[in-house]
Amino acid sequence: MAKLIDGKLISKQIKDELKVEAAKLKEAGREVTLAVIQVGNDPASTVYVGNKKKACDYIGIRSLAYELPESTTQEELLKLVEELNDRDDVDGILVQLPLPSHIDEDTVIRTISPKKDVDGFHPQSVGALSIGQKGFVSCTPAGIIELLKRSDVDIEGKECVIIGRSNIVGKPMALLMLRENATVTICHSRTKNLKEVAKRADILIVAIGKPEFVTSEYVKEGAVVIDVGIHRCDNGKLCGDVLFSDVEPIASAITPVPGGVGPMTIAMLMHNCIDAPNIRQD
């Protein structure tokens, strides 16, 4: 039976550590501030934005909410981002994705100052990660590294297979595992013999976006399995990209869905706010 990697518990530990740091900063006269911009009222985005605000309140980070109508033009949005870039009292800027189709997401991401890019999506942040320099790291992959480390999973020298090559999960995940000295393989929709490749993994990270796709046929006995996926399954319950009931008996450790990777993403967003160059003065 696999050890359950408890993202709920670990994210709470991280948030409690950050709470102490935020209080110390406040004592020194520095209130950490995150600006969150939402355009339109996509219900899922409203839930995500609400959860981010709740986490800010818990830790003691000031959050500024900008709820803009669906009709907001790209020009208006860019103007707001530029104003926030220039404000000394704003440490992080987050634009909730997806944006309405008349706004180009790449242009918006590139307009956020890399010094305030707490989502870690700006090309400069991605570039810094790829050459091992300091910069913001995309929150979901950064959270997975914390999950592994805080669960005492050795990464160095291990075979790590990542299924998925998206810009926000798969690719930065591969770079982070490389930074931790794993031997990394990235699989994607054109990979041949996916089962055989996945079965090589000591650490298998699944971010494929397909409900319960990965079964025990993809997993080596004793592997650590990290499930990034989150879906509403046919029975109405949440499930991941991994068929938990099938994989759990052969894995040595596994993340559940919900309560695994999900809670870590917001915890790492909060970490990025407190670690912002504005705060650290570097």
Strands 231-232 and 238-239: antiparallel
Distances (CA, A) of 20 to 9, 10, 26, 59, 211: 17, 16, 10, 8, 38
| 32 vs 161 by CB, closer to ligand NAD | 161
Q: How far is the CB of 84 from ligand NAD (least distance, A)?
A: 24
| 3 vs 188 by CB, closer to ligand NAD | 188
Nearest to 2 by CA among 219, 169, 233, 264: 219
Q: Tokens at residue 69, please?
A: 């109508």
Q: How far is the CB of 142 from ligand NAD (least distance, A)?
A: 11
Burial class (CB in 10 A: 0-12, 13-18, 19+), 109: buried
Q: Report the amino acid identity of residue 207.
A: A
For residues 44 and 37, give the distance between their C-alpha atoms in angstroms, rounded to a whole number: 14
| 72 vs 265 by CB, closer to ligand NAD | 265
Residue with tokens 């393989």: 185
| 90 vs 148 by CB, closer to ligand NAD | 148
Q: How far is the CB of 205 from ligand NAD (least distance, A)?
A: 10
Which residues of this chain interact with ligand NAD, rule CB under 6 A?
Answer: 140, 163-166, 168-170, 187-189, 191, 194, 207-209, 228-230, 241, 261-262, 265
For residues 140 and 166, give the distance between their C-alpha atoms in angstroms, rounded to a whole number: 12
Give the three-state DSSP class for 224: strand
Which 8-state DSSP code applies to residue 94? E
Give the residue nearest to ligand NAD (CB).
166
Indicate which residues carry an active-site annotation.
52, 96, 119
Residue 56: φ, ψ to 5°: -60, -45
Q: How far is the CB of 138 from ligand NAD (least distance, A)?
A: 9
| 84 vs 264 by CB, closer to ligand NAD | 264
Q: Tokens at residue 245, please?
A: 């009931």
Containing H/E element for 125? helix 123-130
Q: How far is the CB of 148 from ligand NAD (least distance, A)?
A: 15
